[in-house]
Amino acid sequence: MKKSTYLTSPTIIQFVNWLATNLDNGTLSHRHINRKSGGIWNCGSLYDAYAQYHWPHPALPHLSRPKGASFAHNAATLSALRGNLQNALHPTPDDRAARLAVIDVMTWGGVRAGNVRWIHANTDGLARRIIAIRDALNASDTSDPLLTDPNLRFNAGMTKVYSLICESLIIYDSRVAAALGWIVVKYCQAMGLQQVPKELRFPWAPAKSTPGASNPKQRNPSTGSFIFPALRSGALHAEWNLKASWLLEAVLSSPNAQSSKFITSIPGGERLRALEAALFMIGYDLASHPAVGIPATAPAPASAGQAASLGAVSPAAGVIGTSGYDCYTLGKGTLFQYRIHPDCIDVGKGNILPVRDINATLTWLWHHFSDSPFPLANSATEVPKGTAPIGMGTAYFQATGKPAPHTSRLAAVLEELDIIIPCSSALARGLHWTLNTQLLGLKDASSRLDVSPILEDFLALEDED
C-alpha cells in the first residue's frame, strides 16, 4: 500500500482529525503503576505524557555520551547516533563503521540482546543492506519487494536504527504499539464502532517480563470486540511501522492540531519524535491504576475465536518481547534462547550458569590473557585432556570443573552483553574475543571481576522497556 492510498482512506481521515483534536485535552489521560518505583505515573493528555518522557539510556563510551533520561538528553544522544550512522553509510559504505554505529543504537535502546550476534555475523554487506532498506522505507510503499522479503530483518532493534536515517519514521516498539492501539480503542468507542477498522489494527507485542510473572505489564490493547493482532518481526513490523509513521505525521499536519502545544511549543524537526515519546510513556502499561476514583480499565482478553481469527496472542504465549532472547551458537549456528537473571544466565537445555562460575571463568581469562585475544576452544574431548588451545573452554573447565561445550552459548551471550568483544587475531585463525576491560573495570591483576552489576543494569533497563 502506498502512503497516499492509506492517508486518503475515509477511516484514516476521520481518525486523524479526531486525534489531532485530542492531543492536549483529557480524552487521552492515563495512569499506571511504575513497576520500578512503585509510584503512580499519570498524564493529563498526550502532550503531558511527552513532557514527562523518561528513558534512562546507558552510557555510550564511543560517543562520549553519559547516562541520561530526559527527552532533551535523549534527543542529543540520538542526534549523535544519527551522525555516526550517516557517516558509516556515506559517502562510502563502511561495514565496520556501520556495525559499530548500529550496535551503539541497540545499546541506547536496550535491545542488544537478540541482535548483536546477528549484526556481528552479518557485518559483510551491512552498510549496503541498511541503505537499501532505508531507501525502500523512504519510497513509502509497503509492497516494496525489499519490505516483503521473508528474510527481512526488522524488529524492535532495527526500527530504532531506521528511525534515525529515514524520513519521518517513528520507532515502533511494544510501548508505542500498545499506546496506538489504546488510542484506537478510545476512538472506536467515541465513534460508536463495534470493531477496529482494518486500517487501524496496529499489531502489539507483550512487554519484556519474566515468564509466569504474577503481574506483567499490559501491552495488549484488545478489549471486548476491539481486537488487535500480534506483532511479528520482518515484513509485518515494517508495514505497520510505516503506517504508524504516516498516520502520526498526518496528525501533526492536520489543521485541527495547529493550536496544540506539539506545534506551538516544539520545533518542527522534533514534533514527530515528541509525539512518539508521548505514546512511549503511555504504552508502558495499559492497565490503569484504580486510584482517585478512576476505575481500572485493563483491557479484557479476546476470546479464543477472535484471537485466532486475527493472529492475536496472550502475553503469556511469549511469542515476542519476553525476557527470553533468540541467539545462536558460534560454531554451528544452532538457535537457542537465553534468559538473564540477577544471579545467573540460563542458556537453555538445563544449562544455568551461576554468576560465580561466570566470574571465575572471566577471571581465569584475565589472569592468562589480560587484554589479549582468546579463542573459544571448547572441545568436549580435548579440553579435559589438556590438549585443546587455551581459551574460554579451558577457562571454564579449569575455573569450575564442569564440561566446556556449552561455553559456546555462554560466549554468544557475553558478546551480546558487551562483556567480551569479538576481534580477529594474528596468532590463530577463527573467532577470538578480548575482555571489555572498560566495562568490567579491569586495570591490573588485583582488579576484582564481577558481572553482577552488568546483569543488574540489563534487568533494570529491561524493566523500563
DSSP letter at 289 equals: -
Separation CA 185–CA 347 (nearest Å): 39
Q: CA–CA separation, 216 vs 129, rounded Å?
A: 36
Average pLDDT value over all residues in the chain:
90
pLDDT, position 77: 96
Q: CA-CA distance, 259 to 443, in Å (whole number)?
A: 56
Q: How many CA atoms, within 13 angstroms, populate the side-chain half-sphere of residue 66?
A: 2
Identify the pLDDT of residue 61. 80
Query: Amino acid letter at 384?
Result: P
- Cα 160 from chain centre: 8
Q: Which residues is 31 bridged to in the sheet?
A: 42
What average pLDDT does this structure show over 429-437?
88
Residue type, 446: S
Alpha carbon distance 47, 23 (integer Å): 6
Per-residue model confidence as pLDDT tens digits over 134-174: 999 999 999 999 999 999 999 999 999 999 999 999 999 99
Residue in 82, 50, 45 with CA at minimum distance from that of residue 165: 82
List the domain boundaries for the chain. 3-316, 324-464
Mean pLDDT of 417-444: 87
Rounded Cα distance, 413 and 267, in Å: 41
Q: What pLDDT score does 430 carry? A: 74
The size of the chain, in residues, is 465
Report the pLDDT value the prediction gives residue 309, as an integer from 0 to 100. Answer: 37
pLDDT at 293: 36
Asked whether the predicted pLDDT for residue 313 surpasses 60, the reply is no
pLDDT above 90: residue 376: yes
Task: Answer yes or no: is pLDDT of 96 > 70.
Answer: yes
pLDDT at 323: 60
C-alpha cell at 134: 532505508
- What is the CA 401 to chain-centroid distance, rounded? 36
For residue 314, is pLDDT > 70? no
pLDDT tens for 233-290 read 999 999 999 999 999 999 999 999 999 999 999 999 999 999 999 999 999 999 976 6
